[in-house]
Amino acid sequence: MPIRPAPKPSWKMLAALLMLAYLQMQTSPTGSIDSLKQGMDELEKMLRE
């Protein structure tokens, strides 16, 4: 098998990183766990598509 360079990050990965950064800014000390769980659920949905 030929050695290939690592694939460039797809737009989905970039969107996921942006969303995580956005969620971290939005989270307050209260409810931060819930919003993180919600963010991870959204990430899983995006990556499955």
Domain boundaries, the chain: 11-48
* Terminal CA-CA length for the chain: 28
* Nearest residue to 24 via CA among 10, 39, 9: 39
Q: What is residue 1's DSSP assignment?
A: -
Separation CA 16–CA 42 (nearest Å)? 9
What local confidence, expressed as pLDDT, does residue 43 receive?
78
Q: For position 9, what pLDDT does the model report?
A: 65
Query: For a pLDDT cut of 90, what percent of the chain falls above it?
Result: 0
pLDDT along the chain (49 residues), means of 10: 68 79 67 72 79
What type of residue is 38?
Answer: Q
